[in-house]
Every structure is written in structure tokens, then in C-alpha cells.
Chains A and B, each alone.
Chain A
């Protein structure tokens, strides 16, 4: 028995296929990305070692800073929306609905599984102004709010916010369900005890439930922040970074650098920056939410 579970040949046979595929397709490219950051040009044609030039270039690159700022604005709005609405809906599911609870959860979660591109194209139609009014502009028309009718995705002032709303809509259900599962795992006795002590409604939520689901809130924040830092598909499918560069986030900037302008080295540098950014934020949130737990 023991010998069988230590059989080296069997272990190798079980693990090697996965390790080889993963090594070549996921792991080796990570290393290469790191290497590319010290080069300029196109690999195999005119790839030159340039030292840390790519990194110093980041500091003076106006478009890089602008994309970073756009990205952070997007993160701020979408994370706030996803977490706050997620929490709100989870409490509503917990207190407001008993009989059709499963159905309600199934509906709330549904947009999460839809293809990003399809949702994005749907919202393009919702925001449309020409040749026909989309859903929002037609409703504004009926409400006689004609002065609000505008090309939501077609102008720099509103495009980013319009994308934020679409992405909050798409992912909010995911957070609602995570919080809901955490809430129903809170022991019945704790809630009963709190109720006996006179806590009800808002006080129960604020002083008992929210602190109890704090670890899950931390996890949700990490998922939401890293997910939004990496945002790519929904923006590509709605505006492709435009109009101008008003919705160009770091991932889109990186993609354009590499695949539009052939700057593979500099593109990799921006990619590595995104990775570092994700790790720093994840660590920071973990620290904030774990430190308080011990206290």
C-alpha cells in the first residue's frame, strides 16, 4: 500500500503531461516576458539589448501614465459598484425573499456566465445613438429628457463611465452570491443572540453581520481589484480604447504597443508592470483584512 503510493513511475505518469503543457505554455512565457523587458524591437529580426531603457521610458511616457490613470479610475468605480451592490443584493436576498430565493439567485447570477463580447455588444446597442437610438436614448426620448440624449460610448466624457456601468451589471451577481453564501453560513445562534440583545435590521447588519463576513469581503476585494486591473475584453469589444485614448487602460495600451506597433520589448515592460500592480494590490488588501482579524 505505502509502496504503491510512493511509486515514482506512476507519479511521473500522472503528473508529467500536465507539467509539460503548463511549463511550456504558461510558465516559460512568464520568464520570457521578464527577459523581453530588457530588449527593443522584434524578436528574431532586430531584437537589441537595451538594458533598463524600457523601464526609464515608462516614467516619461505620457500615454502610459494616462492609461494607468484611466485604469485606476475604472478600478475605483467598478470595484465600488461591484462590492457595494453585491453586499446590498446579498442582504436583500437574505432578508427580503424567502419563497423564490433560488430563482432570484439564479437570475442575479446569470450575466456572470455570459460571454464578455456578447454583453459588450449588447451594451453597444443599449448606448447607441446613430443610425437609431439605442435603448437608453429611446427611453430618454419618451421621458421627454431629450437634452440628455448623447453618444454614450462615442464621446470621451462619458465613454469610460458607460463601460463601468456595463461591467458592474455583468459581474455584480458574482459578488452578491459570494456574500450571500457567506451570510447564510453565519451561525443561526449568533443572529438569535444578537436579536435577543435588541439588535435588529440595520444594527444587526452593521455590527454583527458585516464584521463576520469581513474575511470574505477581503477575498471579494482582491478578486474585484485584480480582475478590474486586468480589464481587457469588455473594453476592446465596446470602444477598443477610444474615442481617442479616453478608454485606453494599461492592458489595451500594452496590447497596442505589441500587436499594433511591434514594440514587443516595451509592451512586455507594461505587461510586467500590470503583474506587479496586481500583486501589490492583492498583498495590500490581504494585509488590511488579515491584520484586523487578529486584533
Chain B
């Protein structure tokens, strides 16, 4: 009986794995099919030979190259700012002694629960007034600000796990508070920084709502908005390049996941598991 149950659950787990994997495999295979294959053979058929022309079309005619550059700039700068802003404030909240530290933490964590839609209209009007619409700087600013709550949440958890004796020892050795932070704490935060960076990379790279609201110029669109535009424009007729551009938009995430899946899974589920 136990054996039957065992096979039963093995069967279902394999079924689930197939369901999770097959669409992605289908996507990868479809992106290397030649145009004639789409019209002549069934869509689930394996590609006859690998053609990478779809990627070339998507990259140049589909402007994916431009979108990639925009996304890369916005994401990298935003990530840098997120770390520069969130690490010090988390350190001050967990390790330093001041009256409003708890309230400050709550104030930041509030941002996790509030839907983006609530801020969207006022932000749009604010941006319009100061001329930040259609600029990568505008995107970088929202990405860094909206990245703070979860980053601070993660950093605070990591700082808490560092014993206070480490600070005491450093102070006895003659460190001032800034040296404690930069020379003692930050090197200990390597894992925390890696977690925050990967999680925030996902949020920033995957963003649609801000970029579609604040950017309307073709040459400033990011990968996700560009992908929407591209498949809206050519998706019906040009399946190959559409699949290629979908693959390209996910490629950075896919590569990161290949190497950092543990960090990503831990970081994304951290909030829930700690309750």
C-alpha cells in the first residue's frame, strides 16, 4: 500500500514538473524555428534546424537592443542606489540607539503592503510637472524608492543576526561609527547584499507598470514595455521574432536563476516564512 502511494506521488510530481517546464522549453524551441516552419508544421513540432535569425530580427528591427540598453542602465543604477540607501538606514535601525527607530522601520515596511496603483496618479502628475516623464532618471528614482521597503526588511533581518559584541570589539580597537559600518558591518553583509541585489534585480527588470506609465518615447522604452509593444505590433505575423524577444527579455533572469536560485528562493520567500 505504501509503495503504491509512493509511485502515485512520484507520478504526480513528475507531471507537475512537466507542466512547469514544458511551456518554457516550447518557448526556447520556438525561438529558433524558421518562419516557414510556423506555417507548414504544427507548433509543438521540434525545430528542423536551429535558426538564430529571429534573434537578429528582434534585436535590430524589433529594437530589442535599445530596450536592453535602457533596462540595463535603469536597473544597474537603481540597484546601486537601493543598496546605498537601504544598508545604512537598516544598520541605524537595528544597531544604533534612538527613539524613533521602531517607528521608522514601520514607516518603511508600510510600503510593502500598499498597492502601487495608489501612488501612480500623483507620481505621474508630479513627474509631469518637474519634467521627469520620458526620462530614465525618472524610472531610476521610482525603482530605488519602491525597492527600499523590502530591502530594508531583508537587511534588518541580517543586521539583527550580527552580535553586538562585534561592534564593541571594533570600538575598543578604535573604530568610529562610520568605520564600524563600512569596515566591519558591510563585509559581513555580503550575503545580505547579494540577496537584496538579486531580489531587486527581479523587481526592477520585470517592471511594467512604471515604465508603461512614465515612458512613451520608443527610444526610452525598457525591455518589458518594448516587448509588449513589439508583440502588439508584429506578434500576430512574426512568431519567430516574437518568441526570440520573449526569450531575450527573460535571459538575464534565467542566467541569474541558474547560478543564484537558492538566494532568489530564500529572498523571495523570506517575508512569508518568518511570518
Contact = CB atoms under 8 A, between A and B. Distances in A.
B42 A142 contact: yes
Nearest to B88: A14
> In this complex, which of A21, A26, A267 has the most chain B Cβ atoms within 10 angstroms of its Cβ?
A26
Contacts of A197: none
Interface string A241-284: 00000000001001100110000100110011011001100100
B220 interface: no
Contact of B111 (A2, A22, A111, A135): A22
Contact of B148 (A18, A92, A219): A18
Contacts of A108: 16-17, 20
Interface stretch (A28-36, A52-60, A73-81): A28-36
A33 B168 CA distance: 46
B269 interface: yes
A178 B273 CA distance: 6
B89 A264 contact: no
A223 B6 CA distance: 32
A69 B242 CA distance: 33
Given A28-B122, A114-B253, A259-B213, A17 B88 contact: yes
Contacts of A141: 42
A236 B208 contact: yes
A5 to B, nearest CB: 5
A254 B119 CA distance: 12
B47 interface: no
Interface in A106-155: 106-118, 121-126, 130-135, 138-139, 141-142
A107 B148 contact: no
A221 B221 CA distance: 35
Contact of B231 (A121, A178, A201): A121
Interface in A3-58: 4-8, 10-11, 13-15, 17-19, 21-22, 24-30, 32-33, 36, 43-44
Nearest to A220: B272
Determine the main DSSP class of B at the interface with A.
Answer: helix
A122 B23 contact: yes
Interface residues of B, number: 102
Interface of A: 1-2, 4-8, 10-11, 13-15, 17-19, 21-22, 24-30, 32-33, 36, 43-44, 88-89, 91-93, 95-97, 104-118, 121-126, 130-135, 138-139, 141-142, 169, 173-174, 177-178, 181-182, 201, 215-216, 219-220, 223, 226, 229-230, 232-233, 236-237, 251, 254-255, 258-259, 264, 267-268, 271-272, 274-275, 278-279, 282
8 contacts: A4-B176, A105-B265, A109-B261, A121-B242, A135-B23, A230-B117, A232-B209, A264-B125
Interface of B: 2, 5-6, 9-10, 12-13, 16-17, 19-21, 23-24, 26-27, 30, 38-39, 42-44, 84-86, 88-89, 91-93, 95-98, 104, 107-108, 111, 113-126, 129, 141-142, 144-146, 148-149, 152, 167-168, 171, 176-178, 181, 202, 205-206, 208-209, 212-213, 223-225, 227-228, 231, 235-237, 239, 242-243, 246, 249-250, 253-254, 256-257, 261, 264-265, 268-269, 272-273, 275
Given A15-B92, A92-B9, A178-B272, 8 more contacts: A14-B88, A33-B121, A97-B9, A115-B206, A117-B225, A122-B24, A258-B121, A264-B125
Shortest 5 CB-CB distances between A and B: which pairs? A96-B9, A25-B145, A32-B122, A29-B122, A29-B119
